[in-house]
Structure formats: structure tokens, C-alpha cells
Amino acid sequence: MKTMISMLEAQDIILAHTAVGEVNVLPLQSTLGAVLAAPVRAHVDVPSFDNSAMDGFALDHHVTQEASNDNPVVLPIVGYQPAGVVHFGSLKPGCALRVSTGAMVPLDATAVVPIEDVEELGKDLILRKPVKDAAHIRRRGEETRSGELVLDAGVSVSAAVGGYLASIGVTELPVYRRPRIGIVATGTELMPLGARLGPGQIYDSNSIALSAAMHVDGVSARVYPPVDDDFELQKKAFSKMISENDVVVATGGVSVGNHDYVKEIMMQLEIEPLFWKVRQKPGKPLYVGCRPGLMFFGLPGNPASSLINYYEYVRPALRKMMGHIQCRLPSINAVCKTDVWVESERTQFFRSRLDCLNGEWQVAPLDMQGSHCMKSFAQCNSLLVIPEAISIIRAGSLAQVHVLPHGW
């Protein structure tokens, strides 16, 4: 088993052992957050008919070309066509038809004039300026043609994507199956949220943070009850979780303490160890193992370390399983606003605030960077990354920043 490896090597090992999920065909309404497994073509033209872009009057623009204040054009209003109803298939020459936004434009109408640009006198329409050809008419198929390739595989189904696909008649989609994920925190001191705390006890915040982060990333996880620092209890819990999930994420029990049983339990459960420990701060005691159909992540028990390791290692694996092309956190360069001193022998992550000021990305580390401190995580939107062999980042110099999906 490899140990004390670099951040990049750890990420590469994880992604190399992570398989893309199988493909399921689901109703469109059930695919939000999933990733397309195949290209999508339109089923209908959009718009599917010529329609009005404004509340106004459909007419033949040719009859308005001599209109002016001194020589207004007067057209009789012959009726009203609302959206969703077709009363008039064609327009009589020299007439105007009142239409609402989205209403079908009748044959022989070449333009729509907005209601605010005209005058009405009884049943007549008065125009004092010419109307342009095709003004305020949405032509059939101008946005999308039936049969047109509209989205490639690998696109995530967002709210906008779902709405667009509904508009082109798509009712179901081939998407990659989202993994079944189990989360458990280990430690006798841990209590579920809402319980009365006794001496030496703390709330299980890791499970809350991890499940919430996964929810933001488009997956749901089952949170199992915390497990005491007992070898047999943990082995029983892990055995059950491994049989029920594609991914198991545990916090605690992966360092060198008297009750750190995770590595031994995984060996007994025939989980192949991929590596243990990464040259980073915080979050060094990371354990990752696998077997066919399962990835196991043993994260540190300290809350900030646990969540950092989720974003840097667990999240990329989940995104690959879901079919995403870009798996790692987005990375940019930003101007560091303060001097940052670090230990040079390992990568260091600083919870930070990233802002764009006068067109320039700037980043500043927050206070309280301890691996146990979640206050700074609640305030940050990024991780300032200081690579190995660098001991100081000077104020005003460029620094690498991993952009988090929260805090904006």
C-alpha cells in the first residue's frame, strides 16, 4: 500500500480506480443533476409555429410604409387571437388582428406592432410610422429545428437544460446512474444532532456536512448512525454499508490512535488498499480502498480535514461515476492579498475568500485554520492551495485557488 503520497498522485489513483456508472433511461423530471449519457436531438420545432413576441396587432407591414404623423394609416381591427387558441387562420387584406404574446400569427400577417406603439379609435387601429417586415414575430424553428442535435453527452441536467428539453418535446433521457452512497462517523464521543450532550460528547457534524455537500453536487447519501470506537461494532457496521452501497465514506479511525481500526477492518473485509496518508495539511490521514463495485474513503475525524478531503478526493470520484467530464474542483490563479507562510514539505489548504475586484481575482485566507475549525469553512468560498516545496506566498503574487461550489 502506498503511503504519504502527493495530492495529485492521490487524485490520479482515485480516478484511475473509479468506474463510470451504468446508463439508465429516466423520465425528464427525475434527471435534475444527472449527466447525459448520449447526445440529445429535438423532437419538435421551437417555436412550433409562427407566434407573436408582443401583445399587439398582427398586420401586413406593406400597408404601413407611408404612415406618418401627417398621413396616418388606419386599419380595421377584425378580432382577437389569444395564446393557445386559433380563431383566425388567415388575415384579411388591409386589416389588423389583436394578438397576445405567444399567440399564433395568422397567415398573410408579416409583422406585429406592439400595443404601446399604436393608437386605437373605436374598432380602428391608427399607425403613425411604418412597421418593419417580420417585426416581433418568432418564426417556426428559429430557435431549434426538429431532429437537430442540441446537447452532447456529458452535459449535466440543470434547471435550464431540463426546461429547454421539455420545450423540444423530450420526455425521457439516458443518464448515468448516480451512485448509492453511505456515510458514517466513528467515535464514542459522537452524538446525533438533537441529542442531549453528556460530558466529553460532541455532535456528529461530519455526517451533516458531507451529506449536504453531496446534495449540492447532485447526489443523495444515506447517513448511518455514528459507531462507537469498538472493533466488532465498526466491522459489523462497515460490512453492512459495503453490501448496500457503491461508495462508503467514513470519518475518523484512520490515523494511528489506539482506536483507529479502519485499515484493519478493511483488510478483513477484503477491501484493496490504494493508499494511506497524503502529504498535505490539513487532512493527511486519508485512507482509500476499493473492490469491484465499491470505493471506500476513510476521512479524518477533524471536521475541516474531512470536508477538505471530500472536495479534493471524494467529490472527483463521485463526479466521474456520474459521467462528468470535469471531475476536479475548478482551479484559477488569484492575487494573494496577504503574505502566507507555510510548511514547505507538503501541500497546504487554506480556507479563503475569493473575490473579483476591479476585474482582478483576489484571495485572502481566513482566520482559524485549525483542522477542527468549521467556522472558517462556513465563511469561505475557496481553498488557497500552496504546493509542496513553497514556503511563502507574498502579498501581491499569484496563488493557486480551488473554487468551492458554495459560499457565493
- Tens digit of each residue's pLDDT (9 = 90 or more) over 28-37: 999 999 999 9
Q: Give the model's confidence band at 406: pLDDT under 50 very low, under 70 low, under 90 confident, else very high.
A: confident
The average confidence (pLDDT) of the chain is: 96
- Whole-prediction pTM value? 0.89
Alpha-carbon distance values, 137 to 87, 99, 105, 129, 164 (Å): 18, 11, 8, 18, 20
Q: What would be the CATH architecture of the domain defined by 51-138?
A: Beta Complex (2.170)
Least confident among 49-53, 229-233, 386-390: 386-390
Asked if residue 97 has pLDDT above 80, the reply is yes
Alpha-carbon distance values, 198 to 189, 195, 202 (Å): 9, 9, 8
Q: Mean of the pLDDT values across residues 132-159?
A: 97
Show the DSSP H helices in 131-258 as ranges: 159-167, 205-216, 231-244
Alpha-carbon distance values, 62 to 35, 93, 111, 130, 235 (Å): 49, 10, 9, 8, 83
What is the rounded distance in angstroms from the CA atom of residue 98 to the CA atom of residue 169?
Answer: 29
In the chain, ranges of CATH 2.170.190.11 domains: 51-138
Q: Mean of the pLDDT values across residues 333-347?
A: 93
Asked if residue 344 has pLDDT above 80, the reply is no
User: Residues 14, 317: contact at Cβ < 8 Å?
Assistant: yes
What is the rounded distance in angstroms from the CA atom of residue 310 to the CA atom of residue 302?
Answer: 12
Q: What is the 3-state secondary structure (H, E, C) of 287-332?
A: EEEEECCEEEEEECCCHHHHHHHHHHHHHHHHHHHCCCCCCCCCEE
For strands 392-393 and 340-341, give the pairing: antiparallel
Q: What was the pLDDT predicted at 313?
A: 99
Kindly report the CATH class assigned to 24-46+142-176.
alpha beta
In the chain, ranges of CATH 2.40.340.10 domains: 331-403
Asked if residue 153 has pLDDT above 90, the reply is yes
Q: What was the pLDDT predicted at 86?
A: 85
Q: What was the pLDDT predicted at 345?
A: 86
pLDDT digits (tens, 9 = 90+) for 352-376: 999 999 999 999 999 999 999 999 9
What the block records as the C-alpha cell of 324 is: 462528468
pLDDT digits (tens, 9 = 90+) for 72-87: 999 999 999 999 998 8
Portion of the chain with pLDDT greater than 90, in percent:
95
DSSP 8-class letter at 142: S
pLDDT digits (tens, 9 = 90+) for 191-217: 988 899 999 999 999 999 999 999 999
Q: What was the pLDDT predicted at 87?
A: 80
Asked if residue 388 has pLDDT above 80, the reply is yes
In the chain, ranges of CATH 3.90.105.10 domains: 24-46+142-176
Q: Give the model's confidence band at 389: pLDDT under 50 very low, under 70 low, under 90 confident, else very high.
A: confident
User: Residues 362, 319: contact at Cβ < 8 Å?
Assistant: no
DSSP 8-class letter at 38: S
Residue 52: which of 173, 144, 140, 123 has the closest Cα? 140
Portion of the chain with pLDDT greater than 70, in percent:
100
Q: Mean of the pLDDT values across residues 114-140?
A: 97
Residue 324: which of 211, 184, 179 has the closest Cα? 179
Q: Mean of the pLDDT values across residues 103-109?
A: 95
For the domain spanning 331-403, the CATH number is 2.40.340.10
Residue that has been written with the C-alpha cell 447519501 in this structure: 221
In the chain, ranges of CATH 3.40.980.10 domains: 2-22+178-321
Least confident among 73-77, 225-229, 268-272, 387-391: 387-391
pLDDT digits (tens, 9 = 90+) for 234-258: 999 999 999 999 999 999 999 988 8
Q: Which fold has domain 2-22+178-321?
A: Molybdenum Cofactor Biosythetic Enzyme; Chain A (3.40.980)
